Amino acid sequence: MGRFSGFGVTLRQMFRPRVTTHYPEVKRPKPERFHGRHILNRYEDGMEKCIGCELCAGVCPARCIYVRGADNPPDAPVSPGERYGFVYEINFLRCIHCDLCIEACPTEAITETKLFEFSFTNRADAIYTKNELLVDDQGRARRLPWEQWMGDEDERASAWMRATSPNGAAVYEGRVQWSGELGFGVRPAEHGQADELEEPGPRESGEREIADPERGR
């Protein structure tokens, strides 16, 4: 009977509640600031946010981003600035999803979805071009054949950008400091250190003062 004792574990598990999900038909909820596949955003009027400044490419530690800017056509501008991203490519064979490109972007053009299930049958598919990265007319990420989309992975693609935009000072908490997104409008601010900021008391000797963002306006 010793050889059959191991089946006791299997039989007991058959009558216990299952803790697994039917992946990929059912996906677990992703964290709010999950780092996934990148997208290039547009303003609410449809204009592109990327101005071709190449800061994302310069800060990328994996050297996976290639950007080239060009002057906006006067009769049909692509972005609100003088220049726009004429060429934009990301090599996902190199990308480490560190999100430094998102923090470096001055116009909130590049953000990340919650999609991570994508595989390639050739190396050329791993190099995403601007046409593949730029959101469509509804502000949604373009679905590519080698990606496993379930429908909501691009609902909150700018969470990491909005979380890091205040850059450390508690006095900025809860204040909207970002522009609207095509298809989603202006997203609300997140609560961080506290729901309501208390009035600062007298400073101790040697304590450094935090700049008030309202002062000097």
Q: What is the pLDDT of residue 203?
A: 47
| Ramachandran sector of residue 170 (left: φ over 0; alpha: ψ -120 to 50; beta: rest) | alpha
C-alpha to C-alpha distance for 59 and 35, rounded to whole angstroms: 17
Q: What is the pLDDT of residue 165?
A: 62
DSSP H or E segment with residue 87: strand 83-91
Check if the beta carbon of residue 91 is closer than 8 Å to that of residue 126.
yes
DSSP 26: S
Q: Give the pLDDT confidence of 177-187 residue by residue, as tens digits.
A: 788 899 888 88
C-alpha to C-alpha distance for 191 and 194, rounded to whole angstroms: 7
Q: Give the pLDDT confidence of 64-123 residue by residue, as tens digits.
A: 999 999 999 989 999 998 999 999 999 999 999 998 999 899 999 999 999 988 888 889
C-alpha to C-alpha distance for 168 and 163, rounded to whole angstroms: 10
Check if the beta carbon of residue 140 is closer than 8 Å to that of residue 154.
yes
Domains of the chain in sequence order: 35-172 (3.30.70.3270)
pLDDT grade, residue 215 (50/70/90)? very low
For residue 137, report the phi and psi dihedrals to the nearest 5 degrees. Answer: -70, -15
Mapped onto helix, strand or coil, the DSSP state of residue 13 is helix
Q: Give the pLDDT confidence of 15-57 residue by residue, as tens digits.
A: 888 777 787 778 888 888 888 999 999 999 999 999 999 999 9
Q: What is the pLDDT of residue 13?
A: 80
pLDDT grade, residue 205 (50/70/90)? very low
155, pLDDT greater than 90? no
Residue count of the chain: 217
Mapped onto helix, strand or coil, the DSSP state of residue 85 is strand
Mapped onto helix, strand or coil, the DSSP state of residue 147 is strand
Residues 6 or more apart from 73 whose CB is under 8 A from it?
A: none
- Answer with the residue of higher pLDDT: 214 or 143: 143
- Answer with the residue of higher pLDDT: 10 or 72: 72
Q: What is the pLDDT of residue 21?
A: 77
C-alpha to C-alpha distance for 189 and 176, rounded to whole angstroms: 6
Instruction: Kindly state the average pLDDT of the residues 150-176.
Output: 73
